[in-house]
């Protein structure tokens, strides 16, 4: 049985990957020493820091594939004096240390969970493709791009098969960040000034669809040394997304018809232009290569993904609110 090492196993994506892989692989799940215990199914749970000098020898023993989900993630309110160096410490140096040790002991494949931010932060006439020149726009995305480049060089030098997966916003049960905030606003009936934000298009990916692709990349021959974009294969405007989220929640979508230009102006006036970009801008990904090269398509539709997300949210965080 293939032994797979999953880092960041207590995270949103990592925990879902562990649960899926445990059905047909021998999974060794890595969490931070200070992290709370988590239930991940039939997996071997180990604790380790992700540092540039971490010794992975014992943890990598017998491992054939590494799925590297752990990272210093993008934060909305950055407090570090030098955010890029902090991102590089974990996302570049520590990642390359793990990959180098994996290559040295004969691990076959390294699946790296990156970010669509490597492509950039906004699309205009054309969706992002995996072959596009990188245009990272944040310290987090820059660190991910640098890690990707270094991993590709390592693949050429060592024979380690590197597979890179770049997801856009991931949603699902336990989804952190903006998606959870939107769920809460819709459930409470909070009026949102987004009724006219219907010309943008954004790609999203349901957690089960992302995990399905990652599992496919574990051993698919055509995945070796490739970069894949992933989405639900249906792009939505912000207004349409909110209406379909509300329908999944069984709530009305109280959307106020405010022009997108006014939202953009307001965000600039309060010094938060990024908010308007995420709400009003477009970010589309082309998953044609992923579908054609791997024979893969997302198994869960957008509406089913939203239904499952809403059902879990109502049963846990949203009950009685």
- In order, the DSSP letters of 177-217 are THHHHHHHHHHHT--BS-TT--S--B-EEEHHHHHHHHHHH
pLDDT at 199: 94
Residue 321 · residue 249 · CB < 8 Å: no
Residue 179 has pLDDT above 60, yes or no: yes
- Whether the per-residue pLDDT at 63 is higher than 80: the answer is yes
pLDDT bin (cut points 50, 70, 90) of residue 276 is confident
Q: What is the pLDDT of residues 221-256, one digit of tens each?
A: 999 999 999 999 999 999 999 999 999 999 999 999
Residues annotated as part of the active site = 140
pLDDT, residue 316, reads: 83
**pLDDT for residue 321:** 47
pLDDT at position 56 is 98
* Whether residue 77 has pLDDT greater than 60: no
Average pLDDT rounded to a whole number, residues 64-83: 81
**Which of 36-40, 203-207, 302-306 shows the lowest mean pLDDT across its residues?**
36-40
Burial (CB < 10 A; 0-12, 13-18, 19+), residue 295, is: exposed
Rounded CA gap, 96 and 223, in Å? 20
Q: Poorest-confidence range of 28-32, 41-45, 137-141, 284-288?
A: 41-45
Task: Give CA angle at 137 (6, 206), nearest 5°.
Answer: 45
- What stretch of H or E contains 170? strand 169-171
Give the per-residue pLDDT at 320: 47
pLDDT on residue 61: 97
Give the model's pLDDT for residue 146: 98
- pLDDT band per the 50, 70, 90 thresholds, residue 46: very high
Give the confidence band of 319 by pLDDT, cuts at 50, 70, 90: low
Average pLDDT, the chain: 93
Q: Residues 272-293: what's their mean pLDDT?
A: 93
Averaged pLDDT for residues 132-158: 97
The length of the chain, given as a count of residues: 321
Contact 214, 276 (CB under 8 A): no
């Amino acid at each position: 049985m293939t032994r797979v090492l999953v880092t960041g196993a207590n995270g949103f994506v990592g925990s879902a990957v562990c649960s899926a892989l445990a059905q047909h692989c021998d999974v060794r799940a890595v969490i931070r020493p200070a992290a709370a215990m988590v239930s991940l199914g039939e997996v071997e749970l180990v604790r380790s820091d992700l540092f540039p000098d971490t010794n992975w020898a014992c943890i990598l023993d017998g491992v054939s594939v590494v799925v590297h989900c752990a990272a210093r993630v993008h934060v909305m309110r950055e407090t570090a004096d030098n955010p890029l160096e902090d991102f590089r410490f974990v996302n570049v140096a520590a990642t390359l240390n793990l990959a180098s040790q994996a290559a040295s002991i004969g691990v076959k494949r390294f699946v790296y969970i990156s970010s669509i931010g490597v492509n950039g932060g906004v699309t205009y006439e054309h969706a992002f493709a995996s072959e596009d020149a990188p245009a990272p726009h944040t310290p987090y995305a820059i660190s991910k791009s640098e890690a990707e480049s270094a991993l590709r060089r390592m693949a050429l030098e060592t024979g380690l098969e590197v597979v890179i997966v770049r997801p856009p916003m991931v949603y699902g049960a336990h989804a952190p960040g903006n998606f959870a905030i939107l769920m809460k606003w819709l459930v409470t009936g909070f009026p949102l000034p987004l009724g006219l934000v219907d010309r943008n298009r954004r790609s999203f990916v349901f957690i089960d669809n992302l995990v399905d692709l990652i599992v496919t990349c574990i051993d698919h021959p055509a995945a070796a040394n490739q970069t894949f974009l992933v989405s639900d294969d249906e792009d939505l405007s912000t207004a349409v997304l909110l209406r379909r989220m509300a329908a999944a929640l069984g709530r009305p979508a109280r959307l106020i018809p405010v022009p997108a230009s006014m939202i953009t102006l307001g965000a600039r006036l309060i010094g938060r232009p990024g908010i308007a970009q995420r709400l009003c801008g477009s970010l589309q990904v082309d998953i044609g290569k992923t579908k054609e090269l791997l024979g893969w398509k997302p198994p869960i539709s957008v509406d089913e993904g939203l239904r499952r997300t809403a059902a879990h949210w109502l049963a846990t965080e949203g009950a009685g609110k």
